[in-house]
Structure 1
Amino acid sequence: MRIGNAASPEELFELMLEATHEAVGYDSASLMTVDAAGDALIVRAARGSRLEGTRVPVGPSISWQALERRAPIVIEGPAAPSLGTTYTKDVPFALCLPLVVGAKTLGVINVNRGGHPGDDAVAFLRILADQAGFAMERMELYGDLQHFTGQLLSQEEEHRRRLARDLHDGLAPILVSAHAQLQSAAVDSEPVQKATALLRRAIRETREILGTVRPATLDDLGLVAALSAAARDMADEAGWTLEEAVDDPGPLSREAESTLYRVAVEALNNVKKHAAAHEVRLALLKTEDTLEIDVADDGHGFATEQWGEAGIRPGHFGLLGMRERLAFLGGLLKVQSKPGEGTTIRIVVPRDRLR
């Protein structure tokens, strides 16, 4: 059913009412969910009347009774005295279907129409309500997962910022000072020359670590400038011809900005290490719904499906880590490559996960 493909709770609720109308038709209908405190039902979607946002506190309403009984309630004509409610809505037929999953009560669907739709239609609506309950539960779990992964990303990013600050303010100045002391000593001996060379290497590698952990350009200038600087540095080192085509991505959360930077830089590093490329293209494209980053080269290439998943093979373990990191943002990493025809790595992330 289409309700399983909804991208948001609001879309899910509208699709559920639409599916209900297609199944039995109605004069009016509403979908209500239990609020976080569990003491009221809130109308989340309605057809035939403007009820969205209406709160129904715990009480004798048939909606709450259906939840308590965990079974549909059918009313033909005036409500029976045993229901303890004056619910009639001046309609000949009303049906209240609870939305439950296991022991959890999620909400109800209320349907009002001109007559009984038949037992088969009611049975179908019960199946639809079960499917809707499962869809709501999945969406709630997915929302919890998004919140949890967002917390993980925030914690990781803060850890990286502290590490970058410690390296920048602590280790890096010590290495630079030690190198300067050796040079100023003016001692021409092989051990001193080796020590000086090792310090230069340590300084260079510390700068590379700083660039990977959290480059200063990312904080100072943003994603586009930081990516451009990294790509140009690699082009100078590797001898590429670099082509850039970048859009302004707009506001980004710190976690999203850092994730996109690290994945794109890893893609560039893969080119530097494995591709033997002469030309590299870095592109950042903003569409209505997504942000895309392409890293394309004219190097060796390797065998993979058209825009498919690159297999785990020597030199390409990093692709798995890149995909896992993008998954935290709901993003994808696609690979297009053929031996002798270069490689394109495409990063695609929904824009609503970037703020």
Structure 2
Amino acid sequence: MVSLFWRVFLLNAVVLVVATALLLGPVTVSTPVLLTEAAVLVGGLAAMLIANAALLRMALAPLQRLTRAMATIDLLRPGQRPAAEGRGEIVDLIATFNTMLDRLESERATSAARALSAQEAERHRIAQELHDEIGQTLTAVLLDLKHVADQAPPALRDELHQTQETTRTSLEEIRRIARRLRPGVLDELGLVSALKALTSEFRTPKLSVRHRLAADLPSLGHDRELVVYRVAQEAVTNAARHAGARHVDLSLRRTPGGVELRVRDDGRGLGQAAEGAGIRGMRERALLIGAGLALERGPDGGTEVRLTVPTDTGRR
């Protein structure tokens, strides 16, 4: 598809070529046409075309920048705005586009806050049901199995004990899922304890998860602590399940304006794949509290997730 610049330029070029052709007629120049006259006219035509192209390029440059901004803008990375340069209607167009972006970012933030709030409420409800209903039911089954096993003949006792172990494993798995859905330790003991529990949960013989958590962290409030925990949870989960990592380092330290969370792994890295729902979810959570989120290649390979959370005094 021909761009606006070339359409306008070609229209102007046609007009200039026709005008030059008319000047070469017998009314305006010598007959036959002298070589010097033809050279002057052709040179003048070339100069006019070059000047026309330069002026059009300058006049349409703001529109080209606006087009690039429209193609690359991402509402999960707010603040990107094309400069309102140019004259007349072009400036009005860019200003209108920037106003539209402000409104879209505001509406997206509001809708994302509602969605994430509903998601957390649903997680809490499901975790509560898993713990109170299914957990209690399996606990009762374990007690019944123990009672039956104690009175069963030796031939069946081993099978009943095996069933007990299977039921106990299922109960522990349900409790683990409930903790992931709603980290009660975060509400009861705070962010540092919740992150320690998170790293312990993922630590296996094949995966080393280490943590460095500062003791002088400022108060963040429940909403921001929940975002820090969820981002850490998603980052560690990605490293353990998708990146093939062997080592994960999680750190939380105080900064002049707030706190900084870093999660590094030695896995396969981000590569060229598009961001999935997990990463976009982290970005949306970071936006809700005015935090900055960066995903980069780690110093030794793998992936580094960095979340910068402002405190009340340093919030952007």
- After TM superposition, the score normalised by the length of structure 1 is 0.53
CA separation of 1:321/1:130 partners in 2, compared to 1, >3 Å: closer, same or farther?
closer
1:202-351 residue pairs with structure 2 within 5 A?
Answer: 202-235=170-203, 240=208, 242-246=210-214, 248=217, 250-254=219-223, 256-273=224-241, 274-277=244-247, 280-287=248-255, 291-297=259-265, 299=266, 301-302=267-268, 304=269, 309-312=270-273, 320-329=276-285, 330=287, 332-336=293-297, 341=300, 343-348=302-307, 351=310
CA separation of 1:124/1:266 partners in 2, compared to 1, >3 Å: closer, same or farther?
closer
CA contact (8 A) 2:200 2:209 kept: no
CA separation of 1:238/1:183 partners in 2, compared to 1, >3 Å: closer, same or farther?
farther
CA separation of 1:310/1:252 partners in 2, compared to 1, >3 Å: closer, same or farther?
farther
Q: Alpha-carbon deviation of 1:239?
A: 7.0
What is aligned with 1:162?
125
Amino acid at match of 2:194: A
What is aligned with 1:196?
164
CA separation of 1:322/1:286 partners in 2, compared to 1, >3 Å: closer, same or farther?
farther
CA separation of 1:237/1:166 partners in 2, compared to 1, >3 Å: closer, same or farther?
farther
Q: Give aligned pairs, total.
A: 228
CA separation of 1:352/1:311 partners in 2, compared to 1, >3 Å: closer, same or farther?
farther
Q: Alpha-carbon deviation of 1:231?
A: 0.9
- Cα deviation, 1:110-138, whole Å, max 9, x if unaligned, reads xxxxxxxxxxxxx8355434422321221
**Runs of 4+ deviating beyond 6 Å:** 1-5, 352-355
- In structure 2, how many angstroms separate the alpha carbons of the residues matched to 1:143 and 1:136? 11
CA contact (8 A) 1:281 1:296 kept: yes
Q: Alpha-carbon deviation of 1:241?
A: 6.7
CA separation of 1:162/1:243 partners in 2, compared to 1, >3 Å: closer, same or farther?
closer
- In structure 2, how many angstroms separate the alpha carbons of the residues matched to 1:249 and 1:311? 37
- In structure 2, how many angstroms separate the alpha carbons of the residues matched to 1:131 and 1:288? 36
Higher strand share: 1
CA contact (8 A) 2:135 2:171 kept: yes
What is aligned with 1:131?
94
Give yes or no for the alignment of 1:182 onto 2:112: no
Q: Alpha-carbon deviation of 1:175?
A: 1.1
- Cα deviation, 1:138-185, whole Å, max 9, x if unaligned, reads 101210111011100111111111111111221112212211221233
CA separation of 1:146/1:168 partners in 2, compared to 1, >3 Å: closer, same or farther?
same
Q: Which has the higher contact order (CA 8 A, sep 6+)?
A: 2
Amino acid at match of 2:302: T
Q: Alpha-carbon deviation of 1:217?
A: 0.4
Q: Alpha-carbon deviation of 1:233?
A: 3.7
CA separation of 1:249/1:147 partners in 2, compared to 1, >3 Å: closer, same or farther?
farther
CA separation of 1:237/1:250 partners in 2, compared to 1, >3 Å: closer, same or farther?
farther
- In structure 2, how many angstroms separate the alpha carbons of the residues matched to 1:311 and 1:252? 36
Higher helix share: 2
- In structure 2, how many angstroms separate the alpha carbons of the residues matched to 1:126 and 1:352? 42
Q: Alpha-carbon deviation of 1:326?
A: 1.2
Amino acid at match of 2:120: E
CA contact (8 A) 1:167 1:206 kept: yes
**Percent of matched pairs sharing the same residue:** 25
CA contact (8 A) 2:251 2:261 kept: yes
1:32-71 residue pairs with structure 2 within 5 A?
Answer: none
| Structure 1, unaligned runs of 5 or more | 24-122
3-state SS of paired residue (1:184): helix
Q: 1:146 aligns with which of 109, 112, 117?
A: 109
| Structure 2, unaligned runs of 5 or more | 1-61
CA contact (8 A) 1:323 1:332 kept: no
1:96-107 residue pairs with structure 2 within 5 A?
Answer: none
